[in-house]
Structure 1
Amino acid sequence: MNLGDALLLGVVQGVSEWLPISSKTQIMLISTALFKSPPQYAYSLGLFLEAASVIAALIYFRGLYLKALRGLLGDREGRRWLTYMVVTTIVTGAVGVPLYYLARKSLLAGQSAGWLMIALGAAVMLNAVILQRAKSAAGLKSFGQMSLREMALVGLAQALSVLPGVSRSGATTTTLLLLGYKPEEAFKASFVLVPIAGLGATVLSYIAEGDGVATAEALAAMAFGVVVSIATIKALLEFAKSKHVVLVNAVVGLLAIAGGILRITLGS
């Protein structure tokens, strides 16, 4: 992977993280299709580059995180945000870590790039269908009404997103919409969890791959990803609320399936 490849991965990470199309899946597809990376390594690389989204989110949502910290001093709203982050993190860690090792050692072991692209493409399209149905079920609840049980459900949804093809933002946003929260509340509550989940994903991938994933090119891709995220996050958040996100999921999924069929046909 050269600097041009790192730029491509950084742009993909910086854009796809903020849409419910699974950034790690896009990194996996590009790495296996263009760079001929083994599926397990491509999976770890997709999680490692989540650090770019962590840094960007910390910068963009810094006011909200400071408010959460004020919860330690008695701020009522800040305490609720802090509780939300703690509960979702505990549940995500308890369920997500075992799932990561299951996916890496079992689901991806011995998979050809062609069949992997087809499976991931189908998963991305399924994300689109579920999200569209969830948007129809959205209600009028605000974040201040969230119970501990609902926080735990969001944490569970986030844990499931460690699996290949499952979007973190899509899974958490869909859960919140199905629980009856307003779309703008659902997207905000989903995106503020990016630093915690992303940092965990980066650490897990580094533990699994070591210096093999933290290469100079990967770090360059991460830097590009931060710049792209900061430059486009506001527009992408608005775009993610629109009906067009379903079209994006469908197009990405179809391209991945078509690419997988082509690779199998060509025997590569």
Structure 2
Amino acid sequence: MNLTEAVIIGIVQGITEWLPVSSEAVITLILTQVLGTDPGQALNASIFLHTGTMIAAFLYFRKEYTEIIKYCLNKALKPQEILDNPRKLTQEENGRLTIFLGSSTALTGIIGATIYFTGIKAAVQNPTIFYILMSAALFMTGILRLYNKSESREYSSVNLKDSIFVGILQGFSIIPGVSRSGTTAFGFLFREFDARSAFHLSFLMSVPAVAAGSIGLELFTEFNFQPIYLVSAAVAGIVGYLTVDAVLEIADRAEIAWICFALGILALLPTII
């Protein structure tokens, strides 16, 4: 992959990360079908590129994360101050979000690692199975995107049941074609959150999940890291931060499902050509 290709890959990642169409599948398809990368390496590279958009998400939600970090530090260093704080409602909300992020990330890691090491590693050894799996996952993502029911719950009301349900769903996003944002947004809508809160929570929980995934990728897989991937990740972070507001305006549109279906068909082409 040369510099121009790395920049293009970064731009694609930076935009598709916010859409419920599985940026992992899009990047994997480009790397394998256009640049001729081995499926296993392409999949690991697509996972690594989420590091850039993870930083973008952290910066975008920096106020929430700053409050959560302050809450954790205060609770560890001055627990009585938390109990006596007159802004109890705000502290309670921060506590809810802290528990939500911690428990959902843990469940995501357990489910994701299990799927990766028991299924995905075997699938990438057989390109036909790998592309069929990706196609099926994209079609499933599209079907989930057609679910548009929403209620009136706001993100500050998130609880442990929400974190368990959505954390498990997020773990399945390790499968190429399963959109992390699309699956988790579906989970929140199913749990009766309003659409804005669903996407807010979806991207808020992406930061610790992607951070854990990147660490696991380096420690427990045979990822052949290449310095050029840093260029793609950096571009993805910049583009992601600059486009998140614009892209989120269309992320909740049901028409996105048809993009998933089209990508699912494209994923099948290598198996019949």
**RMSD of aligned residue pairs (Cα, Å):** 1.8
1:260 aligns to what? 270
Residues 31-63 of structure 1 deviation map (CA, whole Å, 9 limit, x = unaligned): 110111111111111111110111111111101
CA distance in 2, matches of 1:247, 1:126: 11
- Residue 158 of structure 1 pairs with residue 170 of structure 2: yes
Q: Does 1:46 align with 2:46?
A: yes
Letter in 2 for 1:92: T
| 1:127 counterpart (132, 135, 141) | 141
Distance 1:252 1:244, change over 3 A: same
- Whether contact under 8 Å (2:141, 2:178) holds in the other structure is yes
Out of 185, 208, 215, which is 2:197 matched to? 185
TM-score (norm 2): 0.87
Residue of 222, 245, 261 corresponding to 1:209: 222
Larger radius of gyration: 2
- Percent sequence identity over aligned pairs: 28
Which of residues 98, 102, 108 in structure 2 aligns to 1:86?
A: 102
Q: Is the 8 A contact 1:15 1:232 kept in 2?
A: yes
Whether the 8 Å contact between 1:103 and 1:163 is mirrored in structure 2 is: no
**Aligned partner of 1:192: which letter?**
L
Q: How far apart, CA to CA, are the structure 1 residues paired with 2:179 and 2:14?
A: 14
Aligned mate of 1:221, from 223, 232, 239: 232
Equivalent AA in structure 1 for residue 52 of structure 2: A
Aligned-partner Cα distance in 2 for 1:8–1:61: 25
Following the alignment from structure 2 to structure 1, what is the Cα–Cα distance between the partners of residues 14 and 104? 24
Shift in Å at residue 118 of structure 1? 4.7
| Cα deviations by residue, 1:75-105 (Å, 9 ceiling, x for unpaired) | 2221111111111111112222122222332
Matches within 5 A, 1:237-256: 237-256=248-267
Structure 1 residues 82, 160: CA separation in 2 closer, same or farther (over 3 Å shift)? Answer: same
Unaligned runs of 5+ in 1: none
Alignment of 1:71-110 (within 5 A): 71-72=71-72, 73=74, 74=82, 75-110=91-126
Q: How many aligned positions are there?
A: 256
CA displacement at 1:123 relative to structure 2: 2.2
Match of 2:87 in 1: none
Moved more, 242-251 or 223-232: 242-251
Separation in structure 2 between the aligned mates of residue 90 and residue 216 of structure 1, nearest angstrom: 29
Q: Is 2:28–2:42's contact at 8 Å kept on the other side of the alignment?
A: yes
Tell me which amino acid in the other structure corresponds to 1:246: A
Partner of 1:161: helix, strand, or coil? helix
Q: Any unmatched runs of 5+ in structure 2?
A: 75-81, 83-90
The one-letter amino acid paired with 1:19 is L
1:15-54 map, 5 Å = 15-54=15-54
